[in-house]
Amino acid sequence: MSKPVAIIPAAGIGTRLRPHTYSVPKALLHVAGKPILGHILDRLMARGIERCIVVTGYMGERVREYLAEHYPRGVEIVEQRRRLGLGHAVAQTAEVLPEGPALVILGDTIVEPDWDDYLGGAEGVIGVRAVEDARRFGVVEISGQRVRRLIEKPADPPSNLVIVGIYYFPDVAPLHAALRDLMQDDQRTRGEYQLTDALQRLIEQGVPMRVSRVGGWFDCGTTETLLETNRHLLQDAPPPEPRPRVTLVPPVRVAPSAELQNAVVGPNVSIADGAVVRDAVIRESIVNVGARVEALLMENSVIGEAALVRGSFQQLNVGDNSAVDSRRGEPGN
């Protein structure tokens, strides 16, 4: 049996990750040495998936450039011209993938599922996980392992099982039909066409779907969860190459083109290409492409592309192309 085609919606704005997403699409934010989207694609391709369809929207040209450089084969791009929700994003793939097995995985979520549940089979599968507060998520009611009902972000959740952003469809055609009906009826939840609502239509039509519990789930939607994901993924990082006058405390990932001088880096730090770290101690942080960190002790921080941070101990969330110099007591540009 052929492997499913992967659909990866990566069109969101990422408002909870501002200021970083003012200039970088959420799917391209760096974590543990590469963009979130890169981690997702590498995991899919390692499982033998040969065709991936990425749905772009906000700052789509940046995503297109990244894919052209790093994934020139096996990845197609479909544009979502209007931001009308996740269901609408998936619906944009109907023309290029009208039928056949499909796996949908969100472009800002890294999951560690039982992959065999999503690479074949005769019935649909929804990845779930139990949480303490389910109100922010799509909630699943089950009977045994069968899905009975789906509710998008309920005020009073009937279950603590929530959808984690990975789905399998033995044939994507019924899903596309449900999404078309959803939009023709203009059924919106919180102003958007939700994938959850289309799945509920399938269940009401008698399409069998079951749940599969996911072990690792990292929704990179906030700075805190981005750092949590960074910590988790760095557990598999190889030992760092030693550098003169630099102490590296594993686990860390330092891009070969990054410049480090008189620094202590780690644990749980990733430093991207072209970054400069001088006279600094950094731990539990992410330093993005082209950023400069000088003369400070820093932890639990995310430093955006081409940002400059210089000064004393701080906890920071600094956007791209910014400058912070606490020695003067005021930000610069």
pLDDT at 331: 44
Domain match, 187 and 328 both: no
DSSP letters for 53-67: EEEE-TTHHHHHHHH
Is residue 19 a contact partner of residue 320, using CB atoms and an 8 Å limit? yes
Answer yes or no: is pLDDT of 95 > 90.
Answer: yes
Domain match, 154 and 128 both: yes
Domain match, 211 and 251 both: no
Residues near 318 by beta carbon (within 8 Å), at least 6 away in sequence: 19, 301, 302, 303, 304, 307, 309, 324
Instruction: List, for residues 215-256, the tens digit of each pLDDT value.
Output: 888 877 788 888 999 999 999 888 888 999 999 999 999 999
Q: How many CA atoms lie within 13 A of 168 on its CB side?
A: 22
Instruction: List, for residues 68-85, the tens digit of each pLDDT value.
Output: 999 999 999 999 998 899
User: 203, 232, 261: which is the final residue of a domain?
Assistant: 232
Domain match, 54 and 78 both: yes
**Mean pLDDT along residues 144-152:** 86
Mean per-residue pLDDT over the chain, rounded = 88
Residues near 192 by beta carbon (within 8 Å), at least 6 away in sequence: 84, 85, 86, 87, 88
pLDDT at 330: 43
Q: What's the total number of domains in the chain?
A: 2
* pTM passes above 0.95: no
**Mean pLDDT along residues 142-170:** 89
Residue 189, domain extent:
5-232
- Using a CB cutoff of 8 Å and minimum separation of 24, what contacts does 111-118 make? 111/164, 111/165, 111/166, 111/214, 111/216, 111/217, 111/218, 112/214, 112/215, 112/216, 112/217, 113/166, 113/212, 113/214, 113/215, 114/212, 115/47, 117/168, 117/212, 118/4, 118/166, 118/167, 118/168, 118/212
Which of 25-29, 176-180, 194-198, 207-211 shows the lowest per-residue confidence on average (mean pLDDT)?
25-29
Q: What CATH number has the domain bearing residue 317?
A: 2.160.10.10
Domain match, 39 and 94 both: yes
Which one, of 80, 75, 88, 90, lies nearest residue 11 by Cα?
A: 80
Domain match, 22 and 107 both: yes
Cα–Cα distance for residue pair 149/168, rounded to 1 Å: 17
Domain match, 194 and 77 both: yes
Instruction: List, for residues 198-209, the tens digit of each pLDDT value.
Output: 999 999 999 999
Domain match, 20 and 168 both: yes
| Burial readout 94-124 (b: 16 or more C-beta within 10 A, e: otherwise) | beebeeebbbbbbbbbbbebebebbbebeeb
Q: What CATH number has the domain bearing residue 36?
A: 3.90.550.10
User: 232, 249, 270: which is the final residue of a domain?
Assistant: 232
Domain match, 211 and 292 both: no
Pairing of strands 124-130, 34-35: unpaired
pLDDT at 248: 95
Is residue 313 a contact partner of residue 298, using CB atoms and an 8 Å limit? yes
User: 185, 213, 232: which is the final residue of a domain?
Assistant: 232
pLDDT at 327: 55
SS3 call for 77:
strand
Domain match, 223 and 269 both: no
Domain match, 221 and 293 both: no
Domain match, 211 and 88 both: yes
Give burial (CB, 10 Å; 0-12/13-18/19+) of 194: buried
SS3 call for 81:
coil
